[in-house]
Amino acid sequence: MARQHGTGAVRKLPSGRWQARFRGTDGVLRAAPMTYSNRKDAETWLKVQDADVARGTWRPPATDDKASRIALHDYALEWINSRRGKTGEPLRLSTRKTYLSQLQIIQPALGKVALANVTPALVSKWYSSLDPAHASRNVNTYKMLKSIMESARKDRAITENPCTENYTRPSRRKEIKIATPDEVVLIADNMQPRLRAAVIIAAWTGVRQGELRELRRRDVNIKLGTLSIQRAVSRSRDAHGHYIVGEPKTEAGKRVVSIPPHVVADIEHHLKTYVGRNLDSLLFPATDGLTHIAPSSLHGDAHKGFGFYWARQVAGRSDLRWHDLRHTGATMAARAGATTADLMRRVGHTTAQVAMIYQHSDSQRDAQIAERMSALASD
């Protein structure tokens, strides 16, 4: 039941939140731009409106009426199409696909609603209807919607952003899985010969799969023992069916990585045996020798006797993903004494928080620490 208050009213919604509505001097009854957690806050908003009317300063909300009538889906689609990266470049194809996928989640409940009619209560109802089994996806989708509505506010299509909540992803750190040096050798030895070095490089330098698939002869300096990571290939293809080459995943992705000396000979053998003489020759091309290898060709099939899925099974590590080879490289570097800054540079991370994951404590490191403590006691 609505509670009257001056020239407006407040009411408790089914969600438990409070909504305030106010009839301005133009005779139009409008809801407050957001809902409130308690009645007092809703009534405070009404008092502010009353005070503005009394002072003669109240004005109808300034919006672009034409823009406010645009359906959320249409505005969101234009928002995605016009979106640019930090340096003004178009969105990566993978990012665009993610946005479009998230828009499909928004579409059924909110897509046809005019921007001006998207209220906090409507957004809350939509969010509450999402499958809780996909908590991270739901939060990411909500954050995109919040960004879209903020753009609409700046475009004066709406007066206030109706996405008033700050949902956060559940705290759920996945266990870091790594392979031992012996397991790396066993997995590499059970790959197709032309892909053996792919496992070696991934596990001992920590490069991402997209960076690995784009490595070319010019990127390897055997004399210095380094890999130059300047580009990465995505899992997406262009209109001609070619994999798309772009920048590495992060701003710190462009880097030079030192190769552990004990595997330099393996990489040199690979260059001599399987890589073309041209400096642009891919280290791990598809079977045609020219185009990028598909992720599925690296992964293979556990039942066909080739590829990573088969090799990890032989090594007794069916739990490993290809990405865990990157975890292996980063963790080994941490065990070797790499600082957080060293790890950030080596694996191309932009934040210390991510790099510190690899400096986690484990039983092997703890045993080493205990031994060193005893050594201190005997000094």
358 is catalytic: yes
How many residues can be counted in the chain? Answer: 379
CA dist 293 and 198 (Å) reads 11
Q: Are residues 208 and 324 in the same domain?
A: yes
- According to the model, what pLDDT value does residue 373 have? 62
Q: Does the predicted model carry a pTM greater than 0.85?
A: no
What CATH number is associated with residue 260? 1.10.443.10
5 is catalytic: no
Cβ-count burial of 281 within 10 angstroms (0-12 exposed, 13-18 middle, 19+ buried)? middle
Q: Are residues 203 and 96 in the same domain?
A: no
In-domain check, residue 117: yes
310-355 pLDDT tens trace: 999 999 999 999 999 999 998 888 888 777 788 888 888 767 666 6
Catalytic one among 21, 208, 270, 292? 208
Number of Cβ within a 10 Å radius of residue 278? 10
In-domain check, residue 276: yes
Q: Which domain holds residue 95?
A: 65-154
CA dist 111 and 114 (Å) reads 8
Q: Are residues 131 and 216 in the same domain?
A: no
327 is catalytic: no
- According to the model, what pLDDT value does residue 361 have? 46
Are residues 283 and 217 in contact, defined by beta-carbon separation less than 8 angstroms?
yes
Catalytic one among 358, 360, 365, 372? 358
Q: Are residues 194 and 225 in the same domain?
A: yes
Q: Are residues 37 and 87 in the same domain?
A: no
Q: Are residues 48 and 103 in the same domain?
A: no
Positions of the chain with pLDDT lower than 50, given as ranges: 1-5, 361-363
- According to the model, what pLDDT value does residue 185 have? 96
In-domain check, residue 20: yes
SS3 237: strand
Q: Are residues 186 and 333 in the same domain?
A: yes
- According to the model, what pLDDT value does residue 4 have? 44
In-domain check, residue 255: yes
Q: How far is CA 346 from CA 37, 161, 215, 262, 355, in A?
A: 47, 41, 16, 18, 10
How many structural domains compose the chain?
A: 3
In-domain check, residue 85: yes
Catalytic one among 218, 269, 323, 372? 323
Q: Are residues 231 and 289 in the same domain?
A: yes
Catalytic one among 326, 327, 346, 372? 326
In this structure, what DSSP letter does residue 194 have? Answer: G
92 is catalytic: no
Q: Are residues 86 and 25 in the same domain?
A: no
CA dist 177 and 263 (Å) reads 22
Q: Are residues 26 and 144 in the same domain?
A: no
Q: Are residues 199 and 109 in the same domain?
A: no
Q: Are residues 69 and 134 in the same domain?
A: yes
323 is catalytic: yes
